[in-house]
């Protein structure tokens, strides 16, 4: 599925960050003048285990708060063109809200990001049934790892401080049969906050049995600030000239459709609100954008994929990824019932998700790039979220 050679070049810059590190999962705070990581107890899970909240700060003043529950990015601040910082991701103040009612705010997603039709697939002649937890248009599917995916588990965490970045190393052992998946899976995720104002996420996994793997992060972004209103004025560019159309259950049909002349053409900067309500069957299925874009000229190396810009603040986010596709979700199902940070109610389309990934339902589409990881392989994926203000 993914050979080491394919990802070698994309990972050179990540591996460089690991030089001269100091690590600890127990220190309350550690760091240098160029960055720091602080740890605090954040609450308890229903089984009595404690979850923690880590606060990362880089040399330029950006901060990121991350929990070991779900590898969840709780907050992320970035400066505007005047140097004013704002928290640009949706989320909650309290752990219990993530446990009870989170639409995957900021979480790591696995084993399989996105949907698998009917929660079923066949692999090497054997049929597997996964837990189903989503029913678009009444059509059941397996979504984002199932009832208790990687977003709902407590990860082992270790803080990392380098000369150029601060970070966290997360580890989770997913046992054979969890949510219906075959094989014991060892997963490691690194989050880095660099002094170049980049959030870098690295994924690695190994298995003792062939299994589908498709890891991503599900942060909801609003570059004007998490409590600032809709994202409809944000300008979006996606380096993709095709997308994967879906049926009414939001499962890919198998077709790769050109975006030219459709509401899905973001090959040049386009306000999200311009065509989000277009009279188009795919938009109606969404309702809005909840689709997979096929990134152009994919070769498995780290390359630019997306640019998102808020004209009012000037905040700009560029995403580079080694993945072949990007899921864009325009916050269609936010409806004000999620009461987020500071008591703010997240209304319709007040946040958006951009998820680097492989295609949805790939285990049932042999024509798509494979998501099957085998025991003699190492799954590696990386994405960079680069922040600036223009």
Three-state secondary structure along the chain? CCCHHHHHHHHHHHHHCCCCCEEECCCCEEEECCEEEEEEEEEECCCCCEEEEEEEECCCCCEEEEECECCEEEEEEEECCCCCEEECECCCCCHHHHHHCCCCCCCEECCECCEEECCEEEECCEEEECCCCECHHHCCEEECCCCCCHHHCECEEEEEECCCEEEEEEEEEECCCHHHCCCCEEEEEEEEEECCCEEEEEEEEEECCCEECECEECCEECCCCCCCCCCCCCEEEECCCEEECECCCCCECCCCEECCCCCCCCCCCEEHHHCCCCCCHHHHHCCCCEEEEECCCCCCCCEEEEEEECCCCCEEEEEEECCCEEEEECCCCCCCCCECHHHCECCCCCCEEEEEECCCCHHHCCCCCCCEECCCCCEEEEEEEEEEEC
Stated pTM of the model: 0.93
| 170, β-bridge pairs | 157, 189
pLDDT at 163: 86
Question: Which residue out of 179, 204, 323, 355 is catalytically annotated?
Answer: 355
Catalytic residue among 218, 226, 234, 365: 218
Residue with the two structure tokens 């998820």: 355
Domains and CATH numbers, the chain: 4-389 (2.70.98.10)
Residue 30 and residue 180: Cα distance in Å, rounded?
40
Phi-psi category of 36—alpha, beta or left, where left has phi over 0 and alpha has psi -120 to 50?
Answer: beta
207: exposed, middle or buried (Cβ count in 10 Å: 0-12, 13-18, 19+):
buried
The pLDDT value given to residue 377:
98
Residue 271 burial class via C-beta count within 10 angstroms: exposed 0-12, middle 13-18, buried 19 and up: middle
Name 4's bridge partners: none
pLDDT along the chain (390 residues), means of 10: 44 41 49 81 97 97 98 98 98 98 97 98 98 96 98 97 94 98 98 97 98 98 98 98 98 98 98 98 97 96 98 98 98 97 98 98 98 98 97
Specify the length of the chain in residues. 390
pLDDT of 33 = 57
What is d(CA 267, CA 240) in angstroms, rounded to the nearest whole number? 6
Instruction: Tell the residue number behind the tokens 């959030």, with chain if given.
Output: 199
218 flagged as catalytic = yes
The label of the residue with tokens 């040399």 reads 59
Structure tokens at 277: 């309500």
In whole angstroms, give the CA distance from residue 330 to residue 304: 20
For residues 297 and 211, give the distance between their C-alpha atoms in angstroms, rounded to a whole number: 26
């Amino acid at each position: 599925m993914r050979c080491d050679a394919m990802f070698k070049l994309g990972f050179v810059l990540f591996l460089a960050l690991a030089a001269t590190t100091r690590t600890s999962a127990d220190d309350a705070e550690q760091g240098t003048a160029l960055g720091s990581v602080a740890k605090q107890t954040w609450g308890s899970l229903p089984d009595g285990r404690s979850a923690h909240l880590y606060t990362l700060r880089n040399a330029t003043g950006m901060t990121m708060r991350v929990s070991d529950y779900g590898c969840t990015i709780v907050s992320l601040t970035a400066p505007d063109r005047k140097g004013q910082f704002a928290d640009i991701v949706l989320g909650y103040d309290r752990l219990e809200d993530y446990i009870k009612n989170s639409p995957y705010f900021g979480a790591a997603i696995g084993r399989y990001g996105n949907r698998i039709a009917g929660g079923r697939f066949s692999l090497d002649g054997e049929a597997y049934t996964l837990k189903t937890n989503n029913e678009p248009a009444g059509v059941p599917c397996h979504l984002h790892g199932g009832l208790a995916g990687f977003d709902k588990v407590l990860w082992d965490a270790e803080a990392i401080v380098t000369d150029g970045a601060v970070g966290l190393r997360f580890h989770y052992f997913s046992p054979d049969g969890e949510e219906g998946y075959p094989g014991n899976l060892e997963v490691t995720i690194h989050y880095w906050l660099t002094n170049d104002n980049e959030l870098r996420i690295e994924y690695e996994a190994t298995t003792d049995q062939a299994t589908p793997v498709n890891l991503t992060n599900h942060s909801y972004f609003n570059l004007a600030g998490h409590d600032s209103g809709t994202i409809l004025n944000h300008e979006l560019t996606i380096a993709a000239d095709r997308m994967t159309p879906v049926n009414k259950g939001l499962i890919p049909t198998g077709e790769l459709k050109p975006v030219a002349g459709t509401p899905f053409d973001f090959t040049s900067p386009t306000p999200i609100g311009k065509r989000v309500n277009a009279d188009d069957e795919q938009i109606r299925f969404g309702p809005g954008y909840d689709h997979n874009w096929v990134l152009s000229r994919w070769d498995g190396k780290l390359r630019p994929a997306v640019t998102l810009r808020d004209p009012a603040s000037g905040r700009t986010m560029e995403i580079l990824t080694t993945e072949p596709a990007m899921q864009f979700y325009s916050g269609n199902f936010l409806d004000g019932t999620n009461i987020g940070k500071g008591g703010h109610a997240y209304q319709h389309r007040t946040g958006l998700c951009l998820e680097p990934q492989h295609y949805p339902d790939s285990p049932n589409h042999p024509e798509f790039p494979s998501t099957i990881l085998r025991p003699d392989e190492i799954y590696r994926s990386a994405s960079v979220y680069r922040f600036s203000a223009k």
